[in-house]
């Protein structure tokens, strides 16, 4: 399969040269065979093989898996034990480049699986699991050998780009052994099988998987290595246990996996090729000449001078730049599972009607798209469509939240119900936000265009129509006291309390617990080049406020930074000393309890935190100067795992800590393992 992709990629490398305004010349003409790469598709569904319990850590044959047809996403496999198999290898994939309106060939580290789309290897397959299931995930690392990747003590210098492992982001499973263990390394030409025991009380929801090997995480995820991981279940709530939101949402589903592939082509001196202005100064975008192959070569591609905006790259949806989203019907609800599988930048999704006078969006080159969107999509007086947010990071919200934007930071997921009132086209826009990594204004970018076919007449009040549909779904599946509660909740501000798996953490639960403090820090005094510099101690986390003379500590694999008691309940204060960083912790999610800036509650006024108070998440944006409080229960699982910044090149360079949940000693501490 990999050879096939190479051949295909090579065929795409030929073509004419398109002259662009400004004198720069780059790119290839559009081969007709890749036109389908301008159309949205859900990622392929990973196929399941029978488990092979007699061969622990022996991967089932990829060929055997390939011969099976895909399972529909909507039907989780009913078997108690299932196995998936992912091969990791290099592939050359065509990526549409709106600057040249042609395809660049890009060599990427990719996940492959039987049933995957050979034409779009960026399309990592969607993995489906269900509560109570044992799931084996076999990885077969077929990347080329790493050359000279022993970094000695410099583990916070990116290294060993072809070693990998797997993180099931957001899953509440054991972090140790061959469960969700990211402290292991799978070298090239090595196979390893993870095994997750998904507990039978795991919430259904939208999670994702990606590599998490310290030193190569960013370069691999920015290659598009990341896929949807969906827990499917249809449990009905009872008077004492929650149910799965899926039973209230009998709608067509889509997965929108947002990827940020910051590829570059390099000149003969090893410098990134860029466009140039008339004075010869390098400007966006990065360019590739015909016949060149873009690549993720090293971490210079992530900063400090090489931010996402500087690269001119576009966020992909399911492996495609600016696809046309088809198959939508007017007047129908859909459930969109949106996953930020990128590395750095905010994705602020808004949907606007497209004025038919705008013509075919495919004809608009990148340089003209901002003006085109301002005129035909997000024009003055035109409002973004409402969506109805039902879950954050895979966890059901306390109530349905109406919003005109889905603001995703790296690692975030948002499940939202969408509704297109009329047939026609709509712009999907990554709208302006001023709150990226460095709080710089990010330009509005076109993510894609949705084409909506005629369907049902528009509802006079879509929000009321959604409530009616959810009430009907409840009435068809629930009875008695539970139905009365769910109906009452929906009629009372669209509350979803019977579908929330984590009760709010009460003040009384915190009695006697140790508060924790966390500060992200980029210690620029240590770094000759500032943010993104290669000084190995620059990226840090601290357990106390940063003060002069007391910075944080860069990651050390040999140090446990926090000992946390199993069964404990804690409140953490999250801060960031320099720049904005998304905080992510494995295993146990947390509840957002306060967001303050300068001592003032900004939870209702800052759009980055709108609707987050009281909700449960596993990843949370921490802005410089803010003080955010979250609460967690350490339930069921012991062992060592990590917390880190989800700007993954920060993580690779040291913005990470080891934490250990361990058994209490009965006296307020944690029992020593010594005997």
Measured from the CB atom, is 633 or 650 closer to Cu ion?
650
Closest contact distance (angstroms) between CB of 580 and Cu ion is: 8
Tokens representing residue 522 in the block? 């980029």
Beta carbons of 37 and 320 less than 8 angstroms apart? yes
Measured from the CB atom, is 285 or 582 closer to Cu ion?
582
Measured from the CB atom, is 344 or 444 closer to Cu ion?
344
- Per CB under 5 A, residues contacting Cu ion are 581, 645, 647, 650
- The count of residues in the chain is 675
Tokens representing residue 228 in the block? 């949807």
- DSSP-H helix ranges across 569-662: 648-652
d(CA 48, CA 115): 10
Closest contact distance (angstroms) between CB of 236 and Cu ion is: 41
Pairing relation of β-strands 347-353 and 424-430?
A: antiparallel
Helix axes 462-477, 480-491, angle to 10 degrees: 170
Closest contact distance (angstroms) between CB of 217 and Cu ion is: 12
Closest contact distance (angstroms) between CB of 583 and Cu ion is: 9
d(CA 621, CA 614): 15
Closest contact distance (angstroms) between CB of 167 and Cu ion is: 17
**DSSP letter (8 states) at residue 275:** E
Tokens representing residue 276 in the block? 């140039």
Closest contact distance (angstroms) between CB of 542 and Cu ion is: 13
Backbone angles phi, psi at 427, to 5 degrees: -90, 130
End-to-end CA distance of the chain: 53
Beta carbons of 219 and 299 less than 8 angstroms apart? yes
d(CA 16, CA 285): 20
**DSSP letter (8 states) at residue 45:** B
Measured from the CB atom, is 204 or 647 closer to Cu ion?
647
DSSP H or E segment with residue 628 = strand 626-633
Q: Which residues contact 635 (CB under 8 A, 6 or more apart)?
A: 172, 566, 567, 588
CA distances from 563 to 545, 586, 641, 661, 670 (A): 19, 14, 11, 6, 7
Measured from the CB atom, is 337 or 650 closer to Cu ion?
650
Closest contact distance (angstroms) between CB of 645 and Cu ion is: 3
Measured from the CB atom, is 85 or 307 closer to Cu ion?
307
Collapsing DSSP to helix, strand or coil, 354 comes out as coil
**DSSP letter (8 states) at residue 464:** H
d(CA 84, CA 239): 36
Q: Please give the radius of gyration of the chain, using alpha carbons only, rounded to the nearest integer.
A: 24
- Cα 322 to chain centroid distance, Å, stands at 18
Closest contact distance (angstroms) between CB of 256 and Cu ion is: 24
Measured from the CB atom, is 394 or 552 closer to Cu ion?
552
Measured from the CB atom, is 91 or 546 closer to Cu ion?
546
Closest contact distance (angstroms) between CB of 510 and Cu ion is: 28
Closest contact distance (angstroms) between CB of 436 and Cu ion is: 11
Measured from the CB atom, is 109 or 650 closer to Cu ion?
650
Measured from the CB atom, is 535 or 647 closer to Cu ion?
647
Pairing relation of β-strands 569-576 and 562-565?
A: unpaired
Return the bridge partners of 247, or none: none
Measured from the CB atom, is 213 or 646 closer to Cu ion?
646
Beta carbons of 606 and 628 less than 8 angstroms apart? no
Q: Which residues contact 489 (CB under 8 A, 6 or more apart)?
A: 495, 496, 497, 498
Q: Dihedral of CA 117/119/121/122: which sign?
A: negative
Closest contact distance (angstroms) between CB of 617 and Cu ion is: 17
Measured from the CB atom, is 495 or 581 closer to Cu ion?
581
Q: Give the count of beta carbons closer than 10 Å to the beta carbon of residue 638.
A: 17
d(CA 387, CA 419): 7
d(CA 111, CA 117): 11
Measured from the CB atom, is 427 or 541 closer to Cu ion?
541
DSSP H or E segment with residue 472 = helix 462-477
**DSSP letter (8 states) at residue 514:** P
Closest contact distance (angstroms) between CB of 587 and Cu ion is: 20
Closest contact distance (angstroms) between CB of 339 and Cu ion is: 19
Measured from the CB atom, is 310 or 538 closer to Cu ion?
538
Three-state SS string over 347-398 comes to EEEEEEECCHHHCCHHHCCHHHHHHHHHHHCCCCCCCCCCEEEEEECCEEEE
Measured from the CB atom, is 389 or 523 closer to Cu ion?
523
d(CA 180, CA 630): 23
Closest contact distance (angstroms) between CB of 9 and Cu ion is: 33
Closest contact distance (angstroms) between CB of 371 and Cu ion is: 33
């Amino acid at each position: 399969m990999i050879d096939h992709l190479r051949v295909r990629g090579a065929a795409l490398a030929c073509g004419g040269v398109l002259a662009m305004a400004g004198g720069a010349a780059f790119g290839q003409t559009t081969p007709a065979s890749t036109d389908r790469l301008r159309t949205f598709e859900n990622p392929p569904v990973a196929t399941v093989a029978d488990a092979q319990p007699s061969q622990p850590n022996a991967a089932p044959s990829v060929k055997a898996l390939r011969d099976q047809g895909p399972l529909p996403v909507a039907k989780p496999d009913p078997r108690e034990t299932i196995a998936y198999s992912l091969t990791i290898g290099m592939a050359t994939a065509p990526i549409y480049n709106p600057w040249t309106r042609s395809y660049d060939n890009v060599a990427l580290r990719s996940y492959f699986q039987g049933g995957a789309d050979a034409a779009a290897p960026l399309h990592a397959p969607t993995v489906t699991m269900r509560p109570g299931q044992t799931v084996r995930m076999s990885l077969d690392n077929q990347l080329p050998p790493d050359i000279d990747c022993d970094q000695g003590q410099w583990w916070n210098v990116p290294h060993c780009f072809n070693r990998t492992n797997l993180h099931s982001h957001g899953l509440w499973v054991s972090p140790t052994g061959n469960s969700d263990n990211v402290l292991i390394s799978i070298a090239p030409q090595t196979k390893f099988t993870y095994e997750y025991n998904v507990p039978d009380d795991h919430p259904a929801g939208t999670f994702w998987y990606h590599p998490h090997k310290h030193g190569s995480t960013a370069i691999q995820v920015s290659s598009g290595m990341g896929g949807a991981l969906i827990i499917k279940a249809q449990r009905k709530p009872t008077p004492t246990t929650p149910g799965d939101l899926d039973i209230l949402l009998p709608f067509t589903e889509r997965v929108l996996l947002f990827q940020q592939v910051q590829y570059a082509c390099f000149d003969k001196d090893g410098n990134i090729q860029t466009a140039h202005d008339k004075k010869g100064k390098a400007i966006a975008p990065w360019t590739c000449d015909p016949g060149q192959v873009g690549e993720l070569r090293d971490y210079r591609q992530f900063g400090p001078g090489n931010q996402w905006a500087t690269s001119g790259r576009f966020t992909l949806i399911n492996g495609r730049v600016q696809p046309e989203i088809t198959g939508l019907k007017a007047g129908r609800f859909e459930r969109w599972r949106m996953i930020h599988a990128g590395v750095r930048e905010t994705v602020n999704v808004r949907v606007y009607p497209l004025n038919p006078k705008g013509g075919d969006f495919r004809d608009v080159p990148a340089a003209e798209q901002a003006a085109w969107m301002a005129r035909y999509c997000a024009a003055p007086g035109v409002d973004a469509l409402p969506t109805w947010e039902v879950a954050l990071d895979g966890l059901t919200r306390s109530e349905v939240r109406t919003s005109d934007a889905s603001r995703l930071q790296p690692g975030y997921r948002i499940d939202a119900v969408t509704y297109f009132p009329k047939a026609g086209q709509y712009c999907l826009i990554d709208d302006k936000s001023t709150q990226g990594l460095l709080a710089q204004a990010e330009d509005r970018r076109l993510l894609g265009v949705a084409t909506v076919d005629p369907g049902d007449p528009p509802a006079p009040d879509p929000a009321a129509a959604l409530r009616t549909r959810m009430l009907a779904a409840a009435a068809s599946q629930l009875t008695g006291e539970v139905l009365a509660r769910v109906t009452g909740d929906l009629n009372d501000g669209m509350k979803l309390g019977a579908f929330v798996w984590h009760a709010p953490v009460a003040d009384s639960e915190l009695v006697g617990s140790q508060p924790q403090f966390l500060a992200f820090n980029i210690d620029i005094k240590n770094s000759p080049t500032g943010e993104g510099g290669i000084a190995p101690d620059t990226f840090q986390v601290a357990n106390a406020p940063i003060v002069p003379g007391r910075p944080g500590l860069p990651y050390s694999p040999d140090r446990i930074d926090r000992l946390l008691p199993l069964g404990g309940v804690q409140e953490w204060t999250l801060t960031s000393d320099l720049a904005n960083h998304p905080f992510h912790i494995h295993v146990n999610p947390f509840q957002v309890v306060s967001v303050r800036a300068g001592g003032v509650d900004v939870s209702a006024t800052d759009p980055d935190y709108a609707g987050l108070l009281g909700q449960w998440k596993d990843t949370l944006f921490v802005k410089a100067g803010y003080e955010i409080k979250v609460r967690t229960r350490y339930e069921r699982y012991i062992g060592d795992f990590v917390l880190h910044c989800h700007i993954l090149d920060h993580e690779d360079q040291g913005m990470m800590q080891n934490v250990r949940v361990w058994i209490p000693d009965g006296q307020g501490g944690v029992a020593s393992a010594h005997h």
